[in-house]
Amino acid sequence: MPEPILSVAGLRSGYGRTVICDDISLSVAAGRITCIIGPNGAGKSTLLKTIAGVIRPMAGSVRVGGVEIAGELAAQVARSGMAYVPQEANIFRALTTHENLAMGGWIDESRTKDARDKVYAMFPDLAPLAKVPAGNLSGGQRQMVAFGMALMLEPRVLLLDEPSAGLSPLMVAQMFETVRRVNSEGVAILMVEQNAVQGLKSAHEGIVMASGRIVLQKPAKDLLTSADVSELYLGSRT
Amino acid sequence: MSLQILINALVNAALIAPPAMAFSLLFGILRFPNFAIGGYITVGAFAAYTLNVPLGLPLPLATAGAMAFTGLVVWLAHVLVFKPMEGQSAVTLLVVSIAVTLILESVIRLFYSADVRGFDIPLQRPYRIGEMRITKEQIEIIVLAVAMGTGLHLLLRYTRIGRAMRAVADNPMLASIRGVDAARVTTFTTVLCGAIFGLTGVFAGLDLVIEPLVGWNLTIPIFAAAILGGIGSPYGAILGAIVLGLAEELTILVLPSTYKIGVGFVIIAVLLLVRPQGLFGTVEIKK
């Protein structure tokens, strides 16, 4: 397995004094997709927020490319080569598509034009919507804007919190296709997904969380065929 | 409706629009209705008066000095009062902002008494065009307000800091995730808005009088214009100021002018019932 680009060790976090996830250790290798599944309230989104610097960890380590970033604010984590796409409120509604993408490249605007052209090439549907306020776009288009914004700085690691949430079945298929396409360009992806079957089918590695802890870590295809996981988290058999 | 009413409404709107835009910008960034604006405007008026009358500076220089001083006062109020209270409810911060206005007015009253004052400017007859009359100061207020509105528009639309201000007002968490230093944006916004309140103090001194309640008397019309346009929408605030200015002047046709200030309250009450998001605001749907 290639060297990990993202390593998390002994991470504990939560809100106030309430611990939501504890003793989390995982790694994502360069160019790989890892999908985290688990029931509601398992702490999946809290984990992603903590890695992204939105929530300060209570303990533990987060390393991107070997550099420690645990405890850094989100604005500083953005400079580490890791980009985070939240599940909700992941666009600037009052800003146009063009301006949203520019905000994605905020840290280094010298690259904005080239990066924006690449994003429009990846999501051709967005180009005609460049001057439309993002709040007026459909759910699928908004998700493309959110994705595009995160890709503006050509991150090495992408954190995706339920990228398929709220999308129509057709859009869900397109979204996972996009995830695979972004990954094929060498971007490591750590995603949380309620649509466990689709998420694991797109991933190389799978993680199952429950009650704030990691209970299983295996190749995604093994989780898909595991009888226990299938019964608990995947609904009917694949 | 005579042309004079339109001119008066325009002057009213020019007086209200810049601070209503600033009020909306501050609301967008800080997420509470800041009623300290009355105190800030009074500070601006008295700072300009001090530079212009006791210190003898020409009014344009005194205006620049008052804008800088008020910017500093608004920033200090943010750092010393509002920032330490981050996380408190909007209602708590609103009440605290009223206290800030009362403190600023009391300090001014302590040093300057409650006497009515004016700038050291030559008295001039108003210009007459037919039945219509307008003073040189009123023309200056309109021109400066238009310049201020245009400048703010250019800043918000075409500059990096303007885009950051809109992004932080829209979605502060996402702005932070994308690397925007929200603290620097907040500092810039408070100083900029402070300068606008300082300019409004000068406008008020030119069109009304300089006294410790000058800012407080403008607070309700400014608030009404801001929510009329959709609180948090700086462009809506301009339209809100024009509608309010016109409504106030039309009121004088049927009621004594002392009831003029009531127009703001009526507009607030009607809007909260009929269209709480204002003319340009959007309804936020919570999942």
How confident is the model over B163-185, as pLDDT tens digits? 999 999 999 999 999 999 999 99
pTM of the model: 0.86
Cα–Cα distance for residue pair B101/A117, rounded to 1 Å = 50
Residues in chain B whose beta carbon is closer than 8 A to a beta carbon of chain A?
Answer: 160, 163-164, 166-167, 169-171, 173-182, 282, 287
Q: Residue B44 belongs to what H/E stretch?
A: helix B37-52
Mean pLDDT estimate for chain B:
90
Burial of A114-124, coded b for 16+ CB within 10 Å and e otherwise, reads: ebbebbbebbe
Give the residue-averaged pLDDT of B81-99: 94
Predicted local distance difference test score (pLDDT) of residue A236? 46
B219-258, pLDDT tens digit by residue?
Answer: 989 998 888 887 777 888 888 898 888 888 888 888 887 7
A138-157, pLDDT tens digit by residue?
Answer: 988 999 999 999 999 999 99
A78 vs B contacts (CB less than 8 Å): 177-179
Residues in chain A whose beta carbon is closer than 8 A to a beta carbon of chain B?
Answer: 52-54, 73-75, 78-79, 84, 86, 88-95, 99, 102-104, 106-107, 109, 135, 149
Cβ–Cβ under 8 Å, residues A236 and A65: no
Cβ–Cβ under 8 Å, residues A123 and A144: yes
- Asked if A95's CB is within 8 angstroms of B167's CB, the reply is yes
B174 vs A contacts (CB less than 8 Å): 86, 89-92, 103
- Asked if A109's CB is within 8 angstroms of B179's CB, the reply is no
Please determine, for residue B281, whether its predicted confidence score (pLDDT) is greater than 80: no
CB-neighbour burial class of residue A14 (10 A; exposed 0-12, middle 13-18, buried 19+)? middle
Give the residue-averaged pLDDT of B248-274: 79
Cα–Cα distance for residue pair A38/A195, rounded to 1 Å = 10
Q: What is the pLDDT along chain A (238 residues), one digit of tens a residue?
A: 567 899 999 999 999 889 999 999 999 999 999 999 999 889 999 999 999 999 999 999 999 999 999 999 998 898 999 999 999 899 999 999 999 999 999 998 888 889 999 999 989 999 999 999 999 999 889 999 999 999 999 999 999 999 988 888 888 888 899 899 999 989 999 999 988 889 999 999 999 999 999 999 999 999 988 877 777 766 544 4
Residue B155 structure tokens: 């800043």
Please determine, for residue B285, whether its predicted confidence score (pLDDT) is greater than 90: no
Give Cβ neighbours of residue B276 (< 8 Å, ≥ 6 apart): none
B164 vs A contacts (CB less than 8 Å): 106
B160 vs A contacts (CB less than 8 Å): 109
